[in-house]
């Protein structure tokens, strides 16, 4: 239950109230913005809440138990602070949103009535609708590790322990030409064998996408030069001349970890996990039952 400050609670007892909703939005990249359904700009808690986005909220409800409560927030893509390409790029996915109830005649009187996380966002006709999920959502997510043959670490992170900043595992290049389906011809990587950067990451260092990180689906060498295929992208287009840096790719298999990176001791999967055929099989003549690994 929300505990209202004394001044705000006293205001509610009046016949006429002057309250509005404000939303404090904090993205995962550190960007913080404020929006309100009031018709003028408000300063609340040291943050400016802008009215021009046309935010409006649906019915909100709280239920007992572990059910996930949701409320929708709708707004227009008319503000310079909310751009369609940023939403499409996923910059607002998982953002934290605090809903405030504010006395707009005296903005120092406010209370946070809900804290939520942005879930699904739908866009149409220059508008968007963001579904705000309660914090109980976290209890409905898988936690812990999955027991699989492949590695669940990211190459170069603390669990992997491999040092990427060494010769041969990072490189720089530039775009020569672009094609369909996120395919592009690149220069500067002729010294690396085909497939070396497959499943790796590409970080743009110049151009309209500077700072953006992409996943490389395939790296191959052709008669015309080196070609990269990226995952589908959103936002600014890739142009010839755009520069980038790349890191070697890992397909999460034990053999790759051992041969390509020499990092078998830090492999974070279970490569000798037997499959269903071995787990459900039975003793037969000629079988090997010496206690050795099922998967070599």
Q: Rounded to whole angstroms, how far apart are CA atoms 172 and 51?
A: 44
Specify the DSSP element, H or E, that contains 42. strand 42-44
Q: Do the beta carbons of residue 170 and residue 248 sit within 8 Å?
A: yes
Indicate the pLDDT class of residue 36, thresholds 50, 70 and 90. Answer: confident
Q: Do the beta carbons of residue 268 and residue 153 sit within 8 Å?
A: yes
Question: 101 or 282, which is more confident?
Answer: 101
The arithmetic mean of pLDDT across residues 25-50, rounded, is 88
Domains and CATH numbers, the chain: 6-140 (2.30.110), 170-247 (2.40.30)
Q: Rounded to whole angstroms, how far apart are CA atoms 212 and 245?
A: 11
The predicted-structure confidence for 178-216, as pLDDT tens digits, reads as follows 987 789 999 999 889 999 999 999 999 999 889 889 999
Least confident of 92-106, 141-155, 201-215, 269-283: 269-283
The predicted-structure confidence for 52-104, as pLDDT tens digits, reads as follows 554 555 544 444 444 445 555 555 444 566 777 777 777 788 888 888 999 99
pLDDT of residue 293: 63
Strand 201-204 relative to strand 96-103, pairing: unpaired
């Amino acid at each position: 239950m929300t505990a209202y400050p004394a001044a705000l609670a006293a205001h509610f007892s009046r016949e006429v109230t002057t309250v509005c909703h404000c939303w404090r939005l904090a993205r995962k990249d550190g960007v913080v913005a404020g929006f309100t359904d009031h018709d003028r700009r408000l300063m609340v808690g040291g943050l400016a809440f802008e009215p021009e986005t046309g935010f409006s909220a649906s019915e909100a409800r709280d239920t007992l138990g572990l059910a996930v409560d949701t409320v929708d927030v709708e707004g227009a893509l008319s503000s310079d602070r909310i751009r369609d390409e940023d939403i499409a790029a996923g910059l607002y996915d998982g953002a934290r949103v605090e809903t405030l109830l504010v006395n707009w005649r005296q903005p120092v009187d406010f209370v946070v009535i809900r804290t939520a996380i942005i879930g699904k966002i739908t866009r149409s006709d220059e508008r968007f609708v963001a579904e705000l999920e309660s914090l109980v959502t976290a209890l409905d997510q898988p936690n812990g590790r999955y027991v699989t043959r492949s590695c669940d670490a990211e190459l170069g992170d603390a669990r992997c322990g491999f040092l990427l900043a060494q010769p041969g595992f990072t490189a720089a290049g530039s775009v020569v030409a672009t094609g369909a389906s996120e395919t592009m011809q690149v220069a500067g990587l002729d010294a690396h064998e085909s497939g070396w950067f497959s499943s790796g990451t590409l970080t743009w260092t110049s151009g309209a996408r500077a700072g953006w990180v992409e996943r490389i689906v395939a790296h191959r060498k052709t008669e015309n030069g080196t070609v990269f295929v990226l995952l589908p992208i959103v936002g600014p287009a890739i142009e010839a001349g755009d520069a980038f840096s790349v890191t070697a790719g890992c397909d999460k298999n034990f053999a790759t970890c051992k041969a390509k990176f020499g990092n078998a001791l830090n492999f974070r999967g279970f490569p000798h996990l037997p499959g269903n055929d071995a787990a459900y099989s039975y003793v037969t003549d000629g079988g090997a039952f010496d206690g050795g690994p099922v998967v070599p």
